[in-house]
Amino acid sequence: MSTRGVAILGSTGSIGRSTLAVLSLHPDRYRVRLLAARSSWQALVDQALKFKPDRVILIDAGAALLAARALREQGSVTRVEHGATALKSAVAESDIDVVMAAIVGAAGLLPTLSAVRAGKRVLLANKESLVMAGRLLMDEVQHAGAVLIPIDSEHNAIFQCMPAGYLPGSAGRGVTRLILTASGGPFRGTQWADLSTVTPDQACAHPKWKMGRKISVDSATLMNKGLEVIEATWLFGLPESKVEVLVHPQSVVHSLVEYKDGSILAQMGAPDMRTPIAQALAWPERIDSGVQSLNLSEIGRLEFEPPDHVRFPSLELARMAARAGGTAPAVLNAANEVSVQAFLDRRLNFTDIPVVIDRVLQRLNIVPIRALSDVLEADAAARRVAALQIETVYGALA
């Protein structure tokens, strides 16, 4: 069995750390060739000393200098590079077979595209790449002969429930409906009047999953589920109207696929990202993930309920963007990223996140996407307008 070279983009985040945990169980199958992060150089140095990649890349130049010095002092021969250009070039190298695309937000789009164009197996944990540029990315997958496997637990669950031999990019034979499950986040039972005063720490206290702060806030607003609806339309070739959402607080059933004969297949497992990571790494085989077996007798019951669109309007905003098409999802994503950061910085109330997103969508013209530049221009414009709207909302609150 030949060893496969792996690059992990966003290695210091929760997905990156979980990926390294799975890889450490299979040193005979995989070798870490590249680790990349934005600026967390201390954590990246620790990972490099343990896994001995050929190179590490930090987007931040100052952080890269600190990492290089620390690795030299430890006698490491791992090369240190910096910048987005270095990252785009590195993922296309011939010694890399698998790329874990786990950089959070719009920053992950360009390196993900580079890996796809190089024909790699891309494990997509960066949903924003598909939200922003779904058609462009999927066209590149087909053109380059790349293999794109989703890592989000919901989309990976759908992938596992698809017909034998299926790969993302088209509708599965006989599939009529997709059902994404949502935990409901930390505020599932919170009254609307109480949501305006929640703090960032409260929003990031997810009841089931251990995630980064941005995606935790998205889960709390249900925007994460809205982004997943958009992502699912591109991955699995069904319109937004055929992608449903059910709140499932136990987070055991990760998603379901309905077939035209009435059968519904569900993928179940403990709420642990190592499971989809292991599945995507080894597909079409199976390997140990290190995850404890699911004990259904201990869980006792599985509950499902529709999402509350009144208390959590972000989900409907995402559906509207999916129906509008063109640059609307890119605008939605950018406005959300800016708004969530403002909330985390305590410059915006939790309930004002969807208010800002809605205003940005109303103020910008939505145009068809003909090239990557259309996506990048829409992203930049939405960020500018969102920042202005936050100043307006904040000024009114102050």
CA distance readout (Å), 186 to 48, 214, 298, 352: 35, 14, 22, 17
Over 50: is that where the pLDDT of 69 sits? Answer: yes
Structure confidence at residue 395 as a pLDDT band (50, 70, 90):
low
Q: Is residue 397 over pLDDT 60?
A: no
- Per-residue pLDDT tens for 268-322? 999 999 999 999 999 999 999 999 999 999 999 999 999 998 888 999 999 999 9
Tokens of 389: 């709207």
Tokens (6 digits) for 183:
């935990």
| Residue 310 one-letter amino acid | V
Report for 132-136, 186-190, 199-203, 204-208: range of highest mean pLDDT: 132-136
The pLDDT, as a whole number, for residue 178 is 98
Helices (H), the chain: 14-23, 41-51, 61-73, 84-90, 109-117, 127-144, 153-161, 192-195, 200-203, 213-221, 223-236, 274-282, 296-299, 314-324, 328-344, 353-363, 372-397
What does the DSSP 8-state code read for residue 7? Answer: E
Q: Any idea which residue has 């959402």 for tokens?
A: 245
CA 51 to chain centre: 24
Mean pLDDT of 217-243: 95
pLDDT averaged over the chain?
93
Give CA torsion, residues 51, 73, 43, 274, to 10 deg: 10
Tell me which residue of 138, 105, 111 sits closest to 8, measured CA to CA.
111
Average pLDDT over residues 92-113: 89
Instruction: Please report the pLDDT score of residue 194 as a whole number.
Output: 82
Q: Name the percent of the chain lying above pLDDT 70.
A: 97
DSSP H/E element including 79: strand 79-82
Q: pLDDT category, 209, cuts 50, 70, 90?
A: low
Delineate the domains of the chain, giving CATH numbers in brackets. 4-150 (3.40.50.720), 153-307 (no CATH), 325-398 (1.10.1740.10)
pLDDT over threshold 50, residue 20: yes
Q: Residues 145-156: pLDDT tens digits?
A: 999 999 999 999
pLDDT at 259: 98
Q: Which of 172, 109, 120 is nearest to 6 (CA)?
A: 120
